[in-house]
Amino acid sequence: MVKARRYVYKTAFDGEPKKTDLEIVEEELRPIKDGEFLCKAVYLSVDPYMRAYMSRYETGVTMIGGQVAEVIESKHKKYPVGRYVVGYFGWVDHVISDGKVQFSGAVTEVYLLPDFGKLPVSLGLGVLGMPGQTAYFGFLELCQPKENETVVVSGAAGAVGSLVGQIAKIKKCHVVGIAGSDEKCKWLIDEIGFDRAINYKTANFEKQLQNAAPKGVDCYFDNVGGEISSTIIKNMNYRGRISVCGSISSYNDTHNNLSKATVIQPFMIFKQLRMEGFIVHRWADRFGESTKEYLKWISEGKIKYRETVTNGFENMFEAFVGMLKGKNIGKAVVRAFPK
């Protein structure tokens, strides 16, 4: 018999998630049937969208999310023992699957991780998974960056933002990252090649932005929303493009009582800006394209990745809230069973 632990969404989040909003329950799993397989979590993902999406769920459900898991028992040909998969099983450490799983109102397929060679399987939750696809398609398709343009990225030290900035450098843009600590800014410039980085928590953000982007902003990849975004949009150039990926500054607000920020419509008009929000599944039929590009870029040293790893399935809540507060650099993941 296998014991499985899962996080139940016990009390609806109200503002910043509290530890008591979730409860770990332990259940014995039944034996698998034909056409099923048993997964054991290896790495679990914590992402900003989880905070935003849970407001659509009733309490009592399992916390949503994706993970890299190992198939440890199988009666399903496609998913043999020993293979690694990515599945949106939620916050569970063992699960029985038939290869399909409900995620955000749609049925998704459990994805067999291709051979990453020497690269760690955790990248299936990062640069070689959803954050990577989000950065690649959300930036290139909606911002349409051109050589020598100025690209600003907020949430720049996060899983998605750090990739967007590096892609923008590959596309020969002037890249400015916005992040929440001096340590993150240093990493952006010294390690992954951003041209400039601004700690938005220090004084006079707009002045710093104008210094870092003296020719104005052509493309803005937005992970945060709120006042920071209003200020960046105010400083955009004629026919600038904004890709709206996240709005983490308001994820702890309730749906009917969101925070306010400086209106952006006047800038949208007089600079004739275009702004588009997206969810990455729009490009699901092209996901292979980004993974192929990233593998090439990583092998050429053009894309670097970083992970902030929390050890232990029982520490997922801390990893989640830490990520929401911006404590991670690069992709935040949880190693389910540290050796």
How far is residue 218's CA from residue 220's CA, in Å, rounded to a whole number?
7
Rule CB under 8 A: is residue 12 a binding residue for its own copies? no
Binding residues for its own copies, how many (CB under 8 A)?
A: 36
CA 39 → CA 45, 114, 185, distances in Å?
A: 15, 17, 38
| List of residues 6+ apart from 211 with CB closer than 8 A | none
Nearest to 139 by CA among 38, 213, 32, 222: 222
The DSSP bridge pattern shows strands 217-222 and 150-154 to be parallel
Q: What minimum distance in Å lies between the beta carbon of 170 and its own copies?
A: 25
How buried is 203 (Cβ within 10 angstroms: 0-12 exposed, 13-18 middle, 19+ buried)? exposed
How far is residue 42's CA from residue 86's CA, in Å, rounded to a whole number?
10
Give the type of residue at 227.
E
Nearer to its own copies, 30 or 274 (CB): 274
Rule CB under 8 A: is residue 237 a binding residue for its own copies? no
Site string for its own copies, 138-177 (x = CB under 8 A): ----------------------------------------
Q: What minimum distance in Å lies between the beta carbon of 183 and its own copies?
A: 26
Only one residue has tokens 């975004």, namely 229
Q: What minimum distance in Å lies between the beta carbon of 231 and its own copies?
A: 11
Among 24, 101, 189, 268, binds its own copies (CB under 8 A): 268
Rule CB under 8 A: is residue 45 a binding residue for its own copies? no
Q: What minimum distance in Å lies between the beta carbon of 256 and its own copies?
A: 9
What phi and psi values does residue 68 have, to the nearest 5 degrees? -95, 125
Rule CB under 8 A: is residue 14 a binding residue for its own copies? no
Q: Which stretch binds its own copies (CB under 8 A): 32-40, 64-72, 158-166, 222-230?
A: 222-230
Tokens of 89: 């099983």
Nearer to its own copies, 186 or 271 (CB): 271
How buried is 275 (Cβ within 10 angstroms: 0-12 exposed, 13-18 middle, 19+ buried)? middle
How far is residue 43's CA from residue 128's CA, in Å, rounded to a whole number?
14
How far is residue 29's CA from residue 163's CA, in Å, rounded to a whole number?
39
Among 19, 77, 118, 260, binds its own copies (CB under 8 A): 260
Among 229, 235, 291, 310, binds its own copies (CB under 8 A): 229
Nearer to its own copies, 124 or 225 (CB): 225
Ranges within 111-130 binding its own copies (CB under 8 A): none
Among 262, 299, 337, 338, binds its own copies (CB under 8 A): 262
Return residues touching its own copies (CB under 8 A): 52, 222, 225-226, 229, 244-247, 249-251, 255, 258-279, 282
